[in-house]
Structure 1
Amino acid sequence: MDMQKLTYLEFQEFISKKPIAILPIGAVEAHGPHLPIGTDNYLAERLSRKVAEKVDALVLPTFSYGQVWSLRNVPGSINVSNEHLTGVLTDIGKSLYKFGVRYFVIINTHVGNMTAIKEAARNLYDFYKDLKVFYFIYPGTAKITKEVRESKPMPGGYFHACEIETSYMLYLAPDYVKMDKALDDFPDLPEDFEYTPTPWDEITDTIVLGSATLATEEKGQKIIDVAVETIVKILEKTK
C-alpha cells in the first residue's frame, strides 16, 4: 500500500490493522554513463513494493538522499552527512511510532547509508522498546550473486554501476538503463583504499567499478527474488 496516496483516515485505519511501515531509502549520486543519478532510489522503491505486496505493509515515500561522501565531487551527487541522516531517520521513526507503527522496516540500496541507519535504529531502540526496527540491504544474496556473476569481483567486495547493480536495474527499472553506453572498468584501487578515506573521482573517470556490459535482467531477477524472499521470511517470523 502506497502511503502518500492515502488520506490520513485511511492511513490510520491501515496502521490500526497492520502496524508495519517500509521506508525505501537510496541516494542521489552518479552511476556511470549508463545508469541514472536516481538509481538507488528506483531500486529501493521497487524492491520495497515487492516486499510490501507479500507482507501487506505500508510503503512510505522514498527517502531520496543519502551519505555519498565518496562521490560528492562528481556532478549530480548530493551528499548528506551521517549526523543529519541519522537525525532525520530517527525523527521519521518517532512520528511513525506516535501513530501506531510497531514495525519500522528500512530497505536501503546504498551502502553509504548504513552507518546512519544503524545509529538511528539504535536511537529508536532506546526510545521505544516495543518498536522493532529492521534495516536491509539485499540480504541473503551473497551465494546467488556469486553464482550468476560472470565478471571478477572488485577487491574488498566493492561494486558500483557494474554487472550486479546494472542487472538489478534491468529487472526493476529497465526503462532507465542505457545499455548502449554500458562499459567495463576495473580501476586499480590504492593499497590503502579500505583503510583511509578516498574520493572515488581520484580512482575512476567512469564511476563504474566492474563489468556493466555483462548485466542482464535474468541475473537481476534471480538476486532480487532472493533478497525479497529473505526479507519476507524475517518479517513473517517476527510479526
Structure 2
Amino acid sequence: MTLLAERTTTAAAEDVDAADVAVLPVGSTEQHGPALPLGMDHMAAEGFAHTATDREDAVVLPTLPVGVSEHHRQFDGTLYVGPETFEDYVRETISSLAAHGVRKVVVVNGHGGNSEALRRAARRLREERTAFAPPWNWWDAVDELADELFDEDGGHADAAESSLLWHLREDLVRPDALEAAEAGASERWGESIHGAVLGFDTIDFSESGAVGRPTQADPEKGRQLFETGRDRLHALLDWLAERPLEACWPRDGR
C-alpha cells in the first residue's frame, strides 16, 4: 500500500478499508553535531516506516518532523515544541485516523525526547478506547546488535545513529566531520553530581552536540542496523494486525 499523503481521497478510502494497521513516523529537527543533518531523527523514522508501503494490510501516514527537543535549543537549527503540544498533536492525528476506521497504529519514533509524550498519548488513546498506538523506538529494536557493533554508551549523533543515516542518506552525512564531533562529545548522556542529574541541556555536557563515539560509524554497519530494525518492526506489525482490537483495551481489574 502506498503512502496515504500521495493518495486521492477516493483512493484513500479503499486503502483505509483494507488496512488492519497504520504506521506513523515521528522524529525531530534538531542538532546532531557537525557530521549529521538536523533531520536525522525524522529521516530515520521515515526510513523504517516507509518499508511498510509494501504491505497490503498497512497504511503509512505522513511524518511528523518536529518533536520535543528544547534541550538542544542552544544549537543552531533546532526546532521544538513542548511535550504537551507534541502529545496532543500525535493523539489528535491518530484520533482523526481512527474516525475513518483504522484504530491500531505503530508510532515509529526516531527521537528519544519524544518517548514520554508518546507513552502518555498511547495511554490516553487506549483508556478512551479510541486507538491502540504503541510507540516503537528503532534504537531499542537494535540495541543488542548495536552493542556488538560499537564500543560506546552513546545516545546522540553517536556511531549507531551516524551509521544508520550513512546507510539511508549517504549524501547528507559528513564523514570528514566525525572526528570533530567525537572530539567535543561526551561519553554518555547527561551529567550527574553526587546522584543529582544536572545536565538539563545537551550543551551542559557536550560541546559538539554529540554523545558517544561517532568515529566508529560505518555504512555497512548501518545497513545491518536498518535490516534488523526493519524485520523487528514488521514482526510487530504482523502481531498487531492479527490482534483483535478488543484484546488491546485495558482490563477492568476485576
Mark yes or no: TM-score above 0.5: yes
Contact 1:54–1:232 under 8 Å retained in 2: no
2:133 maps to a residue whose letter is V
- Are residues 137 and 55 of structure 1, via their aligned partners in 2, closer, same or farther at CA, if it must alter by over 3 Å? farther
Give the deviation of 1:110 after TM superposition.
Answer: 0.2
Separation in 1, partners of 2:199, 2:25: 27
Map 1:205-224 → 2, pairs under 5 A: 205-224=207-226
Residues in 2 aligned to 1:100 and 1:236: alpha-carbon distance in whole angstroms = 18
Percent of residue pairs identical: 25
Q: Alignment partner of 1:107: what SS?
A: strand
Q: Which residue of 1 aligns with 2:96?
A: 95
Which residue matches 2:152? 152
**One-letter identity of the residue aligned with 1:176:** L
Following superposition, the deviation at residue 82 of structure 1 comes to 0.8
Aligned counterpart in structure 2 of residue 170 of structure 1, from 151, 166, 169: 166
Task: Give the corresponding residue for 2:132.
Answer: 132
- 1:26 is aligned to 27
**Residue 179 of structure 1 pairs with residue 175 of structure 2:** yes
Aligned to 1:9: 10
Deviates more, 1:6-15 or 1:69-78: 69-78
Structure-2 change in CA distance of 1:128 and 1:194 (3 Å)? farther
Q: Does the Cα contact within 8 Å between 2:20 and 2:57 map onto a contact in 1?
A: no
- Aligned partner of residue 192 in structure 2, secondary structure: coil
- Aligned residue for 1:182, secondary structure, equals helix
Aligned CA RMSD, in angstroms, stands at: 1.9
Q: Is the 8 A contact 1:24 1:107 kept in 2?
A: yes
Shift of 1:65: 0.7
* Counterpart residue identity of residue 4, structure 1: A
Paired residues in the alignment total 233
Tell me by how many angstroms 1:92 deviates. 0.6
Stretches of 4+ aligned residues off by more than 6 angstroms: none
- The answer for the alignment partner of 2:244 in structure 1 is none
- TM (norm. structure 1) is 0.90
Deviation at 1:170, TM superposition (A): 0.9
Q: Which runs of 5+ in 2 are unaligned?
A: 242-254
SS in 2 for 1:58: strand
What stretches of structure 1 of length at least 5 have no aligned partner? none
1:52 to partner: Cα distance: 3.8
